[in-house]
Structure 1
């Protein structure tokens, strides 16, 4: 039996995206004498996912079979493990079913397993490039593709008289200016992360579930060492990161320098926040929960990232507080040296925008002006603060359920209420400062406030110098040949 790659595609109500995902697999060029099999797991589906997958398999000449799950409570983890057990058997099978001779040959012929999301699409030749990366050394356990968010088509291209207008909008292929702008911010964020990984040697602390090629022996070693019935676990909201850390105990985990995978972005502020809440909370849980019993050699890098985010948050909150207090008490003094970190941030974000695949001129301009990066950063800072405050809470949320509900429209954003509250707070503060100006600018108040202002500005200066050196280092590293 020829060596083969087997693709695992968990799909929960993915009738709108599964055909495109399978079309991408139909486009792939395979290594010589290597075959591709595709297993789609229709997970608790209530739509036409199974039917469309079978039709697409015939259309694109794929060796495809569909497994179905009912009442699977482990969501994507359970679906992936279902695909795994269909090949390697279930160690929890009470009847100790033996594999047939054909099943044994088939199992032995599997040399790589491709884990994919149903709303992802591999670029042509990506699978071949992932294979080359995985087979370049015996100790490589997994190779991840480079992800790029798909930009929505302009909604204005659809005529309002088009009888299929609402149907086309519902597909998610089209979006307005805000959705397109928001997608680019996620693309640039992903590009920054990918460039950082490549500049650090290509080793990654998470093999993303969107498109990763695994060595079966690496997955089996995770099962054996942790006494599992399948490689994937639902103990974490970031099951792909947990699996990567377990693989890293004995194997290398790398990012491909060439293989590309296109994935869907979160089109709204609300769905993005819920996704990032899940990612951030899962990461924090892995870093801080000793009961999970797994560590990564990249822990230092991840902690540095958390500290950087905390520093960014502290700088902005401290600056706003000091600025408001200084202006209110008439003790604000401008210094041109403040433009240095602003200029560095502008240069850095311009480079990142230019290195982001398929960027638009408007994206580069908004990056240079720091408008887009600052808005995007504030959203992530709010998520960061929310997650760490949640660590102190006794009520733990299910990140998967929260994200699914947001994507289905079962929950709504409180962005409007939050925005109104901030505007009212600013208006109230401004009115109070104007109304009480004579008191706030009196010598007594100025004298009492001055020590706090001086100390605050000193602390802010040191934090800004620290981040400025970090930006200089990042700009220096971006001069390399790596692409996102």
Structure 2
């Protein structure tokens, strides 16, 4: 084992004292550009008194200088850092995390498996917490201390997650094209245009809404995000033993962090978010990368909800199903409204009622509050939220993902969400948003043309009498659904009065 090679053995193990420690697992696949910043955040952390920190960077199938950059950063920030390397790891992030786990706890699938040495046993016993982090994340100062305090507040707490905030890219317009490092800075990912910054804020606001809801309902979470979570080793070992695994993380789902969380809850471990710890994470800065990431998340969630093979459920099952039904309701409201509106106008039966402003006003208030409560918001974000421009566009994108994933669920072909996301981020695949907008434009223009061309027929008394019962029924159904959705928004506004921060 690498651990036995990197740590000096003691000749008198029984009398050896080893301080309690936290170990960090950071899987990194070709992350030479981001690993230094991640490790800089760890170097900023204040440790609990008498506790040491060891950092394990897992250079996973890397073809760049991730390992070398990590070692340089470890020396720069005075970290106890070790680099583990994987080759031909087909389980990607899951395989990398389990590789680090086996390095300390042993690999029972190794045909040459040997029991841990006495020193390794002492080292394993000294580990009081395991920090799982992504290589493109950065902990805010004191975040590790806050998560530690949460984890140590009770023995039955299996994991504590930091609150995530997407990092806003700097304005691309601030870069001078005469700068000799212009291309290099642009490629670094630190800068973005209006759309990249807009996408980032929408994801920040979405995350803020989720975090505020979790805190209002007690702080328990159904997913301990892989970007920054502090685990109790005893809880992870419990998962390994109960499920006869070779490591805590599994690749049976595209959302391995959610599956692990559900398994912890099944074994009666609490899974919480920290009210104070914050972690800054990268956002998806284009429509295509965002869609692929959300496809993976939504597909993994739906898979866990509907799969009979995995055999593990969460106490938050009702909340997750309600979220799915809410998406269905939002889709139904919009599709039904557009259909009824077109038919009503085409047949000259549309009648405006001021009561329809009620859900719009409520939605505007809700999204304005969320925009204000989103960390590091900008005035333009609050304005666009109040006008419902940003929320509506963002919602439609998520509704497209919702429909796509549920249709795929009944498909015989299983898609690799991780692979699709990697390809999107690497620029290997391209978005079809232009084609979709073109098709929608053609359909809209065709409908308008047909309505004008057949206006006399559509507005005739015969057509009006034929469509009127269906329109009355449709508007009635839409009214009831909209009232229910409005009451949900009112309730969410009520919960936001609580003094919680996102």
2:38 to 3, 21, 27: 21
State whether structure 2 residue 422 is matched by structure 1 residue 401: no
Give the equivalent residue in structure 2 for 1:127. Answer: 144
1:282-327 CA-to-partner distances (Å, cap 9, x unmatched) read 0000000011110100000000000001000000000000000100
Distance 1:196 1:59 in 2: 39
The 5 Å alignment of 1:144-159 reads 144-159=161-176
Of residues 69, 79, 84 in structure 2, which corresponds to 1:67?
A: 84
C-alpha displacement at 1:201, in angstroms? 0.1
Match of 2:214 in 1: 197
- How many residue pairs were aligned? 484
Q: Does 1:162 align with 2:207?
A: no
1:95 deviates by 2.5
- The yes-or-no answer on 1:54 pairing with 2:67 is no
TM-score by length of 1: 1.00
Cα deviations by residue, 1:340-376 (Å, 9 ceiling, x for unpaired): 0000000000000000000000000000000000000
What CA distance in whole angstroms lies between the structure 2 residues aligned with 1:165 and 1:459? 56
The 3-state SS of whatever aligns with 1:267 is coil
2 CA distance for matches of 1:365 and 1:182?
15
1:94-116 Cα deviation digits (max 9, x unpaired): 23312122211110000000000
Map residues 196-235 of structure 1 onto 2, 5 A cutoff: 196-235=213-252
Q: State the superposition RMSD in angstroms.
A: 0.5
Specify the SS of the correspondent of 2:58: strand
- 2:133 matches 1:116: yes
User: Which runs of 5 or more structure 1 residues have no equivalent in the other structure?
Assistant: none
Name the CA distance, whole Å, in 2 between partners of 1:449 and 1:98.
77
Residue segments in structure 2 that go unaligned for 5+ positions in a row = 1-17
Where 1:276 maps in the other structure, the secondary structure is helix
2:309 aligned counterpart, secondary structure = helix
SS of the counterpart of 2:277? strand
SS at match of 2:27: strand
Question: TM-score if structure 2 supplies the norm length?
Answer: 0.96
1:155 shift after superposition: 0.3
Distance 2:218 2:25 in 1: 28
Aligned residue for 2:4? none
Q: Which string of whole-angstrom CA distances, capped at 9 and with x for unpartnered residues, describes residues 405-431 of structure 1?
A: 111011000000100110111111101
Q: 1:286 aligns with which of 301, 304, 314?
A: 304
- Aligned position for 1:86: 103
Deviation at 1:93, TM superposition (A): 2.1
Q: CA deviation at 1:162?
A: 1.0
Q: Distance in 2 between matches of 1:367 and 1:268?
A: 19
2:60 to 30, 40, 43: 43
Q: Give distance in 2, aligned partners of 1:392 and 1:39.
A: 40
* Residue 345 (structure 2) pairs with residue 318 (structure 1): no
After superposition, what is the alpha-carbon deviation per residue over 1:106-130, rounded to whole angstroms, capped at 9, x for unaligned? 1000000000000000000000000
Per-residue CA distance 1:201-227 (angstroms, 9 max, x = gap): 000000000000000000000000100
Give how far 1:184 is off: 0.2
Deviation at 1:275, TM superposition (A): 0.3
SS in structure 1 at match of 2:224: coil
Q: Distance in 2 between matches of 1:95 and 1:279?
A: 37
Q: Which residue of 2 aligns with 1:468?
A: 486
Distance 1:471 1:479 in 2: 13
Equivalent position SS for 2:53:
strand
